[in-house]
Structure 1
Amino acid sequence: MEFQGGGIRTISYDGVEIVRGIYAAVRDPNWGTVEPAISDIAMKEFDDMVRLSFLCEHKQGDIQFAWQGNIQLSPHGLQFEFDGTAKSTFLKNRIGFCVLHPMELAGLPLEVETTNQTLQGRFPLAISPHQPYKNIEKLTYAPKPYLQVDMRFEGDLFEMEDQRNWTDASFKTYCTPLEWPFPVEMKAGDSIYQSITVQVNHLKQTDHITGERRKDESGIVPLVVTSRVIRNMPDLGVMIDAPAMLTGDGRSVAATEKTRLSLTPSYLRALISLSRNDWYDQLAYVQKRVSGLNAECGIEIELLYDEPSQLEAFAAYIGSEAMKVRRIIPFCNGAMISAESSLLELKAALSSRQYPSLNRIAIGGGTRAYYAEHNRAEMPLQWMDFTVYSINPQVHAFDDRSLMETLHAQPVTVKDAIKKCGKDLYLGPVTLLPRINPNATDGGSELAIHQQMDERQHTSFGAAWTIGSIASLCQEDLSLLKGICYYNLSGEIGLEDHPDTDLFKAMQTLMLYPNAEVVEVKGVSQRVAALGIKPNETTTLVFAANLTNERVNMEIRTANNDRNPVATTLEPYQFLTFYFQPS
């Protein structure tokens, strides 16, 4: 168990993770998280018990809230108490405990005691669009056949949601039901008390735990590069922020002249709003950039409009200019989910123009937001050629390790979307921070570029996370995933303005081999991600990325060479490339 940020995480018993984390959140009226300042940490040890106390103070704008945390640990359980008081009057959406259960529990039996009944169920296997359990007072489950976990909640009503909807690698049981009104006013002096008690019972002794411990004791990650082709690389695209470049908010165009031709994305994704007077200029800029990148680069447009007449003007323009548009995803302004009317209106506008190029454009639907919105919506599938949704790892958590954990949930969302929609999927944009807030209650969903910038993107962390993302998404059973759009081409969150970063170098290399065969690499773990591709018939190129903040010892070899592995050490968040050819 670890104490972090006023919460505890990785709660294990005999080497088995029973709880991913327990923490308390203060959420503002737009569901933003108000981070705490932590002080007065004190720990006392007894013969069979450890007590930890601390103070958390949350201050942001008119929000001032403080709470005393008390954690009591015993050999077979723990109790976590939250005792807080509002120091000012403010609006809040939620204040109190959240418990994270590892997503690896998916499908396992779960007993739920509610306020009026006991339910026998399971942790959801398919991603649950809505709360699978409400009015929770107690949970009982067995992460392993020989362990039983009892978890009791006091001080509020709790319910569970499937956080895989946002690529968090967990299920979350949280306080204050979402069906209750929010935001709610907290008056100065109002208090909140909650507690969570966890008890672990060891049902029987087995050798399984010992075996699991030995597996990790060597510390060496062994990678084996096979010759088995599991799929082809999906198209790799990048966003292009045409408005920023036109208004001068982006980086200087001249400053990027040297790096323009060194990136070869398969497509650029542009956000075009037909409500702007300069949308013609934006499209002209996008076409110019596409022409300057590579001959095979196409355009994907996320299109916002108010009325059908705007779509007719848009169709006339892209047809007359013979723009290299491959795909369009239309949305009414302000909408987060595709409407059947939008798809039909765009199809009508394109078909009304006598330009052969318009007949080849695919029309897709989905969401501008996360898989949660996609999963909860009734999509107009009969009119969709493909589907889309975006990914960012910081909807709920913001530390390095939590971001890396989301990599394991990304392919779960893709598999779920493919199963439910049966459509080709073009994922993106995939970024470290959100570009919109679909849950904003103040009416402002679009975020400024500086709000989308995470400094980690341009460090080794950003490169490792991105390689891990691509590797996790290049799975054999995700063949309908046809394209992934990462980050921006230019500007603060762009690639080409940072040519000396590990992220740029990794993306530059991967983009050189569109549609390359992806080969199976065995031995990948929570610590190391690996992606193997074949640039040509005789060469295999492997990217290996350390997903941790510690050194990792690694051995890598081909399947037909078990005597001479390459031994190396990956520094924190470092990635290395390896080339293998037949001997």
Structure 2
Amino acid sequence: MPFTVGRWAGEVRRGGSLSHLTHDGVPVLRAVRGVVRDRDWRTAPATVTSTSATSGALLLAGTFDDDGGEDVVHGDWTLDARDDDGRLAVEFRATARTAFRRNRCGLVVLHRPDDAGRPLTVRHPDGTTTSTGFPVEIAPHQPARDVAGLAWSRPGVDVDLEFSGDVFEVEDQRNWTDASFKTYSTPLERPFPVPVAAGATVVHRVVVSARPTGSSREPGPPPGPVRWRETGTPLPRWGTDRPVEGFAGTLLVELLLDDPAWPDHLARARAAGNPLDVRLVTDDPDLLPDAVAALWDARVERLGVHSLTRHVSTRVLWAALSAAAGDLPLVAGSRAHFTELNRTVAQLPPDATGVVFGSTPQMHDTGRDQFVEAVDVLRLTARQAVRIAAGRPVHVGPVSVVPRFNAVATTPARLGRGDPSVGSGPSGPVVTAWCVAAAAACSVDGVASVVLGASRAGGEAVAEAVRLLAPFAGRPRLDTDGVLPQGVHVLAAGTLDRGSALVANLAEVAHHVDLGGRPVDVPPAGVRPCGWGAAPEGPR
């Protein structure tokens, strides 16, 4: 629902988020929203029950309800946005109807991803200031802490935020492929989860000021014809975490060694006949020798070990795996998100033959915008992982549409394991298009393989993407020079004279794309194969 409050405008999105905030039409913030997150960092679903809007104010009221956790989370909230003498004042008030334990309750502000590199002034509660900036490289830790206010400049506007009701800090959400930076309440250094009594109320307020400074236009070419560019490097090899009929590529198998059924899981994977990418998951190094012994006659392409609770290849686990693995090629990194890899670079074993990390677009947000925009951020994580790997090949995946497990739970039974409370997410052709787009995003120099996650959700749609991608594995990569329409991604292989491509469109409208003088019409949420000079080569 579009809204206008004085000179401010935006959209009310699901759950009461004030999104795409502009001042006199100039983009300022990605979103302002109130959130309630339970002890396992799952966001309690928010429902808008009433809306009252005038030109000078917007009042939303709703409920937050989550029965899926150890605690039952029920409450009421209001979000009041008003024009305060040209400033946008947003107040969030949440009242618990039941006692529960929370990790966060209050306002968060999402900054636009194109703020990367802009200087940032941080005001602290004691009245002092710090000069820093929105990071260009994905920051592993908070670029701003102890925040009472922020100020920075965007094209056409100087922006200032004032926070009250708690102490805030800033994190780089690109670690989780979110297209934003986030200023959130309650510093993570404070203990959590925190008990919340029935009837307890939290009130947070943020005041956004914007001072016009001139033209808001940033130089940049519009979408138009693109040209091919030969790279001289191969496309990655593809893999999946579920057998796909007719696909002979790598099968990733993750074995939780505290589960007595792991030998059966391994046996089913071996029966598929694919080469295996095996990830052993445990916090007990004494379990590794037997697991490695079970692989002695298997077709193991790669072998790694990850902590069940920390999700990375710890030094103790790596030493035990190295002692047992003989000459098997060993990889290290994160089984969860790029976040964990980015935060533990110093712990990467120097003798690892490759670096791995997983990814999902729905860690914080299940909206369509996040689903689409995560693809561009996935490319940033792939490139930064290549720099972290320092010459070693990078293996990305599983890249799954929904989270495979809860990487941040505080409940031991949930941490690092499949979470039945996670929904199925999108399905059908849009998932196929997203997987092709994600594969294209990861196809950068230094990435040797990409595993698409089909076991958790969207299995058949992911399998269709794998079949489409199969003929491109290892072929010479072609890149495009030019600007594609938003939501359109291209994966191509061959030469300027003879090649083939997959064009994925994540937008809700069809797009006409000019690829080096070859017009391609791509349906909404679809994939269009194309070729020139000769038919695409067969699968590899």
Q: TM-score, length-normalised on structure 1?
A: 0.82
If you compute each CA radius of gyration, which structure gives the higher value, 1 or 2?
1
1:209 maps onto 2:175 in alignment? no
Take 2:186 and 2:20, find their aligned partners in 1: how far apart are those partners?
24
- Assess if the C-alpha contact under 8 Å between 2:60 and 2:79 holds in 1: yes
Secondary structure class of the residue paired with 1:466: helix
Cα deviation, residue 75, structure 1 = 10
Give the counterpart of 1:345 among 297, 314, 320: 320
Cα deviation, residue 331, structure 1 = 3.1
Take 1:514 and 1:567, find their aligned partners in 2: how far apart are those partners?
22
Q: 1:376–1:342: structure 2 CA closer, same or farther, 3 Å change rule?
A: same
Deviates more, 1:164-173 or 1:368-377: 368-377
Cα deviation 1:187-234 (Å, max 9, x = unaligned): 22222222111111122x34x63977xx76xxxx53424142363211
- Assess if the C-alpha contact under 8 Å between 1:343 and 1:363 holds in 2: no
Equivalent residue, structure 1, for 2:355: 387
Take 1:389 and 1:159, find their aligned partners in 2: how far apart are those partners?
26
Instruction: Name the one with the larger helix percent.
Output: 1
Equivalent residue, structure 1, for 2:500: 541
- Assess if the C-alpha contact under 8 Å between 1:234 and 1:484 holds in 2: yes
Equivalent residue, structure 1, for 2:245: 260
Cα deviation, residue 333, structure 1 = 5.0
**Count of residue pairs the alignment pairs up:** 517
Give the counterpart of 2:488 among 529, 545, 553: 529
Secondary structure class of the residue paired with 1:534: strand
Take 1:366 and 1:210, find their aligned partners in 2: how far apart are those partners?
38
- Assess if the C-alpha contact under 8 Å between 1:370 and 1:389 holds in 2: yes
Take 1:314 and 1:555, find their aligned partners in 2: how far apart are those partners?
50
Cα deviation, residue 4, structure 1 = 0.7
Take 1:548 and 1:347, find their aligned partners in 2: how far apart are those partners?
46
Give the counterpart of 1:445 among 415, 426, 429: 415
Secondary structure class of the residue paired with 1:394: coil
1:363 maps onto 2:363 in alignment? no
Cα deviation 1:88-119 (Å, max 9, x = unaligned): 22211111111111222122111111112111
Q: 1:282–1:68: structure 2 CA closer, same or farther, 3 Å change rule?
A: closer
Cα deviation, residue 426, structure 1 = 0.9
Cα deviation 1:297-333 (Å, max 9, x = unaligned): 52110113565564333444422x2x21011112355
- Assess if the C-alpha contact under 8 Å between 2:404 and 2:456 holds in 1: no
Take 2:28 and 2:527, find their aligned partners in 1: how far apart are those partners?
31
Take 2:240 and 2:495, find their aligned partners in 1: how far apart are those partners?
24
Q: 1:273–1:93: structure 2 CA closer, same or farther, 3 Å change rule?
A: closer
Give the counterpart of 2:134 among 123, 133, 142: 123
Take 1:29 and 1:302, find their aligned partners in 2: how far apart are those partners?
28
Give the counterpart of 2:435 among 457, 463, 466: 466
1:173 maps onto 2:142 in alignment? no
- Assess if the C-alpha contact under 8 Å between 2:406 and 2:418 holds in 1: no
- Assess if the C-alpha contact under 8 Å between 1:545 and 1:575 holds in 2: yes
Deviates more, 1:194-203 or 1:340-349: 340-349
1:60 maps onto 2:66 in alignment? yes
Secondary structure class of the residue paired with 2:473: coil
Which amino acid in structure 1 is aligned with residue 463 of structure 2? F
- Assess if the C-alpha contact under 8 Å between 1:438 and 1:445 holds in 2: yes
Take 2:418 and 2:310, find their aligned partners in 1: how far apart are those partners?
18
Equivalent residue, structure 2, for 1:224: 226
Which amino acid in structure 2 is aligned with residue 530 of structure 1? H
1:289 maps onto 2:272 in alignment? yes
Superposed counterparts of 1:159-558, under 5 Å: 159-203=169-213, 205-206=214-215, 209=217, 221-229=223-231, 231-240=233-242, 260-261=245-246, 263-265=247-249, 267-290=250-273, 297-305=274-282, 310-319=287-296, 321=297, 323-332=298-307, 334-351=309-326, 359=327, 361-377=328-344, 378-422=346-390, 423-443=392-412, 444-448=414-418, 451=421, 454-456=424-426, 458-475=427-444, 479-488=445-454, 493=457, 495=459, 498=460, 501=461, 503-525=462-484, 527-534=486-493, 538-549=497-508, 551-558=509-516
Secondary structure class of the residue paired with 2:347: coil
Cα deviation, residue 408, structure 1 = 1.6
Q: 1:552–1:186: structure 2 CA closer, same or farther, 3 Å change rule?
A: same
Q: 1:440–1:333: structure 2 CA closer, same or farther, 3 Å change rule?
A: closer
- Assess if the C-alpha contact under 8 Å between 1:343 and 1:383 holds in 2: no
Take 1:521 and 1:472, find their aligned partners in 2: how far apart are those partners?
12
Q: 1:552–1:341: structure 2 CA closer, same or farther, 3 Å change rule?
A: same
Consecutive unaligned residues in structure 2, runs of 5 or more: 1-9, 536-540
Consecutive unaligned residues in structure 1, runs of 5 or more: 242-258, 291-296, 352-358
Which amino acid in structure 2 is aligned with residue 480 of structure 1? G
Cα deviation 1:426-465 (Å, max 9, x = unaligned): 1111111111212111102244475556241x31221222
- Assess if the C-alpha contact under 8 Å between 1:160 and 1:173 holds in 2: yes
Cα deviation, residue 379, structure 1 = 1.6
Equivalent residue, structure 2, for 1:143: 154
- Assess if the C-alpha contact under 8 Å between 2:408 and 2:415 holds in 1: yes
Secondary structure class of the residue paired with 2:408: coil
Cα deviation 1:478-527 (Å, max 9, x = unaligned): x2211111113xx66364xx3xx4x4333202112320122122344462
Take 1:307 and 1:20, find their aligned partners in 2: how far apart are those partners?
43
Aligned-CA RMSD value: 2.7
Take 2:365 and 2:489, find their aligned partners in 1: how far apart are those partners?
24
Take 1:552 and 1:388, find their aligned partners in 2: how far apart are those partners?
35
Q: 1:194–1:379: structure 2 CA closer, same or farther, 3 Å change rule?
A: same
Take 2:237 and 2:113, find their aligned partners in 1: how far apart are those partners?
28
Which amino acid in structure 2 is aligned with residue 270 of structure 1? V
Identity %: 24
- Assess if the C-alpha contact under 8 Å between 1:532 and 1:540 holds in 2: no
- Assess if the C-alpha contact under 8 Å between 1:223 and 1:554 holds in 2: no
Take 1:310 and 1:210, find their aligned partners in 2: how far apart are those partners?
56
Which amino acid in structure 1 is aligned with residue 388 of structure 2? K
Deviates more, 1:223-232 or 1:51-60: 223-232
Q: 1:528–1:240: structure 2 CA closer, same or farther, 3 Å change rule?
A: closer
Cα deviation 1:54-91 (Å, max 9, x = unaligned): 10211223322212211125896422111232222221
- Assess if the C-alpha contact under 8 Å between 1:166 and 1:372 holds in 2: yes
Q: TM-score, length-normalised on structure 2?
A: 0.88
- Assess if the C-alpha contact under 8 Å between 1:15 and 1:209 holds in 2: no
Q: 1:74–1:566: structure 2 CA closer, same or farther, 3 Å change rule?
A: farther
Superposed counterparts of 1:7-18, under 5 Å: 7-13=17-23, 16-18=26-28
Q: 1:437–1:582: structure 2 CA closer, same or farther, 3 Å change rule?
A: closer
